[in-house]
Amino acid sequence: MSLLVWIVALIVLFFIARAWLRGHEEDHGAMADLMPPPKGDAIEELIWPVVGETQLNDDHSSRQEAIAKCGEGMPVQIEFVDGGPGGADSARVLTEFGEIGNLRKDAVEKLYQLKRHHQKVDAYIRDLEGGTEKNRIRSAMPQVYVYKD
């Protein structure tokens, strides 16, 4: 009889834990998901991580310090660095506090093509991660909205 009680209790705990985890996953991006596109309906919404966030900028300022001052929902600028006739070589992600990193090569290529086709791009910080005592590396993930120009 007690074995049956234990089995039922474990099954109930499983469903409670699963419901809690689903609710926790939904809360993680809740703030960013509640923020509507800033200028109405976007053609595309893209999300990419910032890379190189642990490096120093050309002026020797810390990208980590700039990210630490940022908040979710903060606007960022994407500045393309020309790579010759083929298009952009890289793209810097800039905030009011300075450069926080670069976009991955696939993101640079996609955004550069959209820009060449006269699309308007707005970007905001969607998620910030890290920055605890154990994990001092902070990273950011911008959400990019693409509009018809």
Q: pLDDT tens across 92-113, in order?
A: 899 999 999 998 888 888 888 8
pLDDT higher than 70, residue 28: no
At 39, is the pLDDT very low, low, confident or very high (cuts 50, 70, 90)?
low
- The pTM score is 0.68
Residues in Cβ contact with 97 at an 8 Å cutoff, skipping those fewer than 6 apart: 65, 66, 69, 70
Instruction: Single out the residue of 122, 127, 110 nearest to residue 146, CA to CA.
Output: 122
Biggest alpha carbon distance in the chain?
Answer: 77
Mean pLDDT of 36-54: 79
pLDDT tens-place string over residues 62-74: 998 888 888 888 8
